[in-house]
Structure 1
Amino acid sequence: MEISTSIPQCESSSSQETDPEKAVDPRLCTTDHGADTDLQRMLSTRHLTMIALGSSIGMGLWLGSATSLQNGGPAAIFLGYILAGTMVWSVSHAIGEMAVLYPVPSAFVQWSNIFISPSVGFTVGWAYWFGYFITIANELQGVVTVLNFWTDAVPTAAWITIFWLVIVLINMWAVKFFGEVEVVSSTIKFSWIFVVIISFIVVSAGGAPDEDPIGFRYWNAEPFTNGFKGFLSVMPTCVFAMSGSENAALVAAETQNPRKSIPRAVGSIWLRLSLFYVLGSLAITITVSPHDPNLFGGDGQNNSPFVVAYQNAGLAILAHIMNAVIFISIISTASISGYGGSRTLMGLSHLNMAPKIFSHADETGRPIAGLSATLLIGGGLAYLNVNTSSADVFSWFSNLTSLFTLFGWGCICLSHLRMRHAWKTQGRCESDLPWRTWTYPYASYWGLVWCVILILAEFYLSVWPLHGTPNARDFFANYVSVVVIVVVYFGARCWYRGPWWVDARMVDLDGPRRFYADDQEGGGGKKKTGLGRVLGWVFM
């Protein structure tokens, strides 16, 4: 049974405190971190796990893999997803430990504010919100590309308007309805990937009607199409494709039992990463040539590489089904971005970093003001696709989003390291944590270092672009996210002043904390083995 989440219950330094007379200095309980909000805890373990699964499976994987395959080659895209996967795995473990202890709205925003500095928290919050509405715009323009597979008779603006309204409807309905929509769409995506991997192996082996055996023909011919620079150019798309898994931290504030739900979601990460990205990218590279003109961004039909593989193999029915799954994925990811953006604004508002109108939710737990702002701006940006190439718009948006994501991931890892440092500095024991990741501290250091490296690599690509010469237009188009981050951060520094780091001795470790009873299930229930464990991780 859960004790409470409210701030006044700062009466012990441990979820397992045995002496009821030991009390924390009440001065530590005066900071409002937004742990109490109008949000309703209507989402279960099943919702959290499937939202974490589905939020990172969208246009980046299904369509963005085409531009990565063209620019980098089969080896580059495969290695890119492996590297990005290790980063997501590291970030997710950091999130898991903090989200069980501090399941607050706009989680990583508040963690950065508490454990690093208010200036960083301010910057993380607004950077993530920018990334969310840009993602909505990118997914909506992706809808047009997907639907043009069946017909190009409908104007681009009409498609964008129709599905913008669909995304608004999904988010404006009850939170439980949003959760169920994501469970269904994530189940479809996860189930279909098994079909994709098995069928692509058959196609590569020569089992398709219109395709000779391929094997590793494209790997042997040209593993890297543009050398090391081509590999670097793949990374923003890989990061964009995998962004969104951190949304599990946002959902934690509306989850009935984070101590049970979050470790289970974290525990399934290796399965999601290997199936969707590593094996999925490998399946593409053994079936589709990086020079196929019909790939998204090419001169032909502008299709997903997954659809192109089925078309080339003479499997028209599977091509249509694949396109339908991509369509569902894009709508799902866009709706999750609306959810994330509204909760981020709510967290910022509770920290007095955004207008107070965003701090409230209605009686059913919907932050109407935050949803309206996120969906309105994201939908409006999507109309850039009306007069511009969809592939160009995708590249621009994904580069902007990936840089915001790298900054956010880096701050999550740094927050985790700082949280543990504060925990130790204040004399707390690791055993007092309701859930501990076995990867500390190495995974958080790994994720943080690679975020810094890739931000610098993107600077190199912005100055010396692939297939281009240095120019101011490309630089600002690809690197303006970092410019925004720097401006926002130093603006916040001027406002908040104070030290660059919060003092670990003064960090309020109990104010935003959720306490759990000793007998509350924390490990996800009775242990399962074999297939039962795998299915439980995926579908619960």
Structure 2
Amino acid sequence: MATPEYDNKHFVSTEKEAPLGSPARSGSGEVVGEVIQGDHGADTELRRLLGTRHITMIALGSSIGMGLWLGSGKSLASGGPAGIFLGYVLAGSMIWSVSHSIGEMAVMYPLPSAFVQWTAKFVCPSAAFALGWAYWFNYVITIANELQALCTVLGFWTDKVPVAAWITIFWVVIILVNVGAVTVFGEVEVVCSTIKFGWIFVVILSLIVVSAGGAPNHDAVGFRYWNAEPFTHGFKGFLSVMPTCIFAMSGGENSGLVAAETANPRKAVPRAVGSIWLRLALFYLLGALMVTITVSPENPDIFGGSGTNASPFVIAYRNAGIPALSHMMNAVIFISVLSTGTISGYAGSRTTMGLAHLGMAPAVFKKADKTGRPWYGLVLTLTLGGALAYLNVGNKAADVFTWLSNLTSLFTLFGWGMICLSHIRMRAAWKLQGRDVADLPWKSWTYPYAAWWGLSWCIILIFVEFYLAVWPLGESPTAKTFFANYISVPVILICYFGARIFYKGPWRVDLRKIELDVTRRFYVDMDTEKANKKGGVVGGVKKAAAFVFN
């Protein structure tokens, strides 16, 4: 099958359309075929080896890592109990909106770099170029951040091992998980997500008991810290927690990437989207609430303080006199952080593959071996991510966390905004070209309100982070601080305008000219398939599909 080629000056696809019913392998029997392979890279060397349980568990646990378990301590100190809780409420409403936009597009257009290719198709190729490379660097930064977080977590048990040694050991672990078959990656993430998901119930129930005075120290904390000082640094303190809250929830969009390697996106993706409320309610909102009622924002040991830089969850158990649970909590944090680093390696390599199919990265990144591993993207992503982690060797862990999480949150806001905008423009093109909404393989009941909500807040928070970079909380304004916290935006703008100058073309794609069936996956209606079976139609849709596929 032809690979996409682009006129380097105008981003015009020179590839001819493949015939209707181009072959497409699927293990589900529900997928009939990808009708036209074409200008946005649906035809890749990836293999669809992941099932519904993989994408559901990855969606549940992919973003549960350093941001929640460790970063919530820094947010607690900056914004206070009410500040951190409201920050997670706002960030949660945004990722909920983004997830519904992802769901609708990922079912119909399951592509290797997902939102990068959706942006090229529905918004603007130059924006896709900026988003793709910004998001790839975002994944690289996340690997570095999670590796240095592992050193902080392990410091709870011992400080005898050099930081560089820990980074090297777990860099190798992340590499090994990613260079295995995609099924190995999928099974590892299912196990890690199951542990995270099961443990959160222990955290919620046990910390309720602790706050009520049922722990060995018999200290009934209740809402003592809420009553004393709900916002530790006023409105500016509340604003300062938003980058960490966004960073904590970044990664939830990875379910869109996994759809390209899922046997049946129509079944798997909506289930993953439907589980988003559970993750938000249990992990972030109730988890943050448990921290605010059991840990003082003035505690010197929380992440970024002058003490052991421990997780606020670990501190809660330690102060309550339950050392066994504090050790178990630290172990779960360790697994969570390592898991998030592994997912970032996976996502970064798939992003480079999608960019290559758009003609925005060297063609070598399109390549994958017979088991579906995109080696060139994996090597580049994992090598650079691990190398950046060594920044932690000569700097304070909390400082490195602040730098990298601010960069990540800005890239994430840009990505979430582009996902929502792509969804809005996809629906607009669908309507403008006279298509019926009922023909969508899966429809989000939240459209258009959720998509506009997510897009609006992404824009607002990008300006909020500019304000915090110019006038940082508790520091004097300096050029160094500004660029350390806001360099992501200049990088995005340079990439965007560089692509505009090099490729030219329109500022946005014409909705009337979008090929809605290019890179689309079509599905059999299950009711029709069952009717055909009951009617005794020998062969039926399923056998016909099997004939085409095999």
Q: How does the TM-score come out when normalised to structure 2?
A: 0.90
Instruction: Tell me the distance in 2 between the aligned counterparts of 1:479 and 1:139.
Output: 20
Query: SS in structure 2 opposite 1:73?
Result: helix
- Structure 1 residue aligned with 2:145, among 138, 142, 158? 138
CA apart distance, 1:129: 0.3
Contact 1:44 1:257 in 2 (8 A): yes
Instruction: Tell me the distance in 2 between the aligned counterparts of 1:113 and 1:166.
Output: 34
Contact 2:126 2:496 in 1 (8 A): yes
| Corresponding position: 1:294 with 2:301 | yes
Q: Which residue of 2 aligns with 1:537?
A: none
- Structure 1 residue aligned with 2:133, among 126, 131, 134? 126
CA apart distance, 1:520: 7.4
Query: SS in structure 2 opposite 1:515?
Result: strand
Show CA shifts across 1:2-25 (max 9, x none).
Answer: xxxx9735479xxxxxxxxxxxxx
Q: Which ranges of structure 2 fall in alignment gaps of 5 or more residues?
A: 1-15, 23-34, 530-550
CA apart distance, 1:521: 10
Q: Which residue of 2 aligns with 1:183?
A: 190
Show CA shifts across 1:385-427 (max 9, x none).
Answer: 0010000000110000000000000000000000001111111
| Corresponding position: 1:196 with 2:206 | no
Instruction: Kindly provide the amino acid, as one letter, of the partner of residue 45 in structure 1.
Output: T
Contact 1:240 1:398 in 2 (8 A): yes
Instruction: Tell me the distance in 1 between the aligned counterparts of 2:219 and 2:521.
Output: 59
Contact 1:422 1:504 in 2 (8 A): yes
Instruction: Tell me the distance in 1 between the aligned counterparts of 2:70 and 2:511.
Output: 44
Task: Go from structure 1 to structure 2 and tell me whether the alpha carbon gap of 1:364 and 1:11 turns closer, same or farther (over 3 Å shift).
Answer: closer
* Equivalent runs, 1:16-415 vs 2, <5 Å: 31-415=38-422
Query: SS in structure 1 opposite 2:391?
Result: helix
- Structure 2 residue aligned with 1:8, among 18, 34, 49? 18
CA apart distance, 1:31: 3.9
Instruction: Tell me the distance in 2 between the aligned counterparts of 1:237 and 1:211.
Output: 32
Show CA shifts across 1:148-204 (max 9, x none).
Answer: 111100000000000000000000011000000000000000000000000000000
Instruction: Tell me the distance in 2 between the aligned counterparts of 1:105 and 1:359.
Output: 10
Show CA shifts across 1:88-138 (max 9, x none).
Answer: 000000000000000011000000000001001111111110100000000
Task: Go from structure 1 to structure 2 and tell me whether the alpha carbon gap of 1:153 and 1:242 turns closer, same or farther (over 3 Å shift).
Answer: same
Instruction: Tell me the distance in 2 between the aligned counterparts of 1:37 and 1:211.
Output: 60
Instruction: Tell me the distance in 1 between the aligned counterparts of 2:17 and 2:201.
Output: 45
Task: Go from structure 1 to structure 2 and tell me whether the alpha carbon gap of 1:10 and 1:89 turns closer, same or farther (over 3 Å shift).
Answer: farther
Contact 1:8 1:511 in 2 (8 A): no
Instruction: Tell me the distance in 2 between the aligned counterparts of 1:429 and 1:145.
Output: 53
| Corresponding position: 1:507 with 2:517 | no
Task: Go from structure 1 to structure 2 and tell me whether the alpha carbon gap of 1:30 and 1:320 turns closer, same or farther (over 3 Å shift).
Answer: closer
Q: Which residue of 2 aligns with 1:487?
A: 494
Instruction: Tell me the distance in 1 between the aligned counterparts of 2:313 and 2:528.
Output: 42
Task: Go from structure 1 to structure 2 and tell me whether the alpha carbon gap of 1:476 and 1:520 turns closer, same or farther (over 3 Å shift).
Answer: farther
Range moving further from structure 2, 87-96 or 46-55 = 46-55
Show CA shifts across 1:218-253 (max 9, x none).
Answer: 000000000011001000000000000100000000
Task: Go from structure 1 to structure 2 and tell me whether the alpha carbon gap of 1:331 and 1:500 turns closer, same or farther (over 3 Å shift).
Answer: same
The RMSD of aligned alpha carbons is 1.5
Query: SS in structure 2 opposite 1:228?
Result: helix
Instruction: Tell me the distance in 2 between the aligned counterparts of 1:450 and 1:33.
Output: 28
Q: Which ranges of structure 1 fall in alignment gaps of 5 or more residues?
A: 1-5, 13-25, 523-540
Show CA shifts across 1:465-508 (max 9, x none).
Answer: 00012210100000000010011100011112121110001001
Instruction: Kindly provide the amino acid, as one letter, of the partner of residue 18 in structure 2.
Output: P
Show CA shifts across 1:65-93 (max 9, x none).
Answer: 01000000000000000000000000000
Percent identity of the aligned residues? Answer: 70
Instruction: Tell me the distance in 1 between the aligned counterparts of 2:236 and 2:17.
Output: 50
Task: Go from structure 1 to structure 2 and tell me whether the alpha carbon gap of 1:277 and 1:7 turns closer, same or farther (over 3 Å shift).
Answer: farther
Contact 2:116 2:354 in 1 (8 A): yes
Q: How does the TM-score come out when normalised to structure 1?
A: 0.91
CA apart distance, 1:32: 2.5
Q: Which residue of 1 aligns with 2:548?
A: none
Query: SS in structure 2 opposite 1:286?
Result: helix
Contact 1:260 1:521 in 2 (8 A): no
Instruction: Kindly provide the amino acid, as one letter, of the partner of residue 215 in structure 2.
Output: A
Contact 2:78 2:237 in 1 (8 A): yes
Give the count of matched residue pairs.
502
Contact 1:259 1:521 in 2 (8 A): no
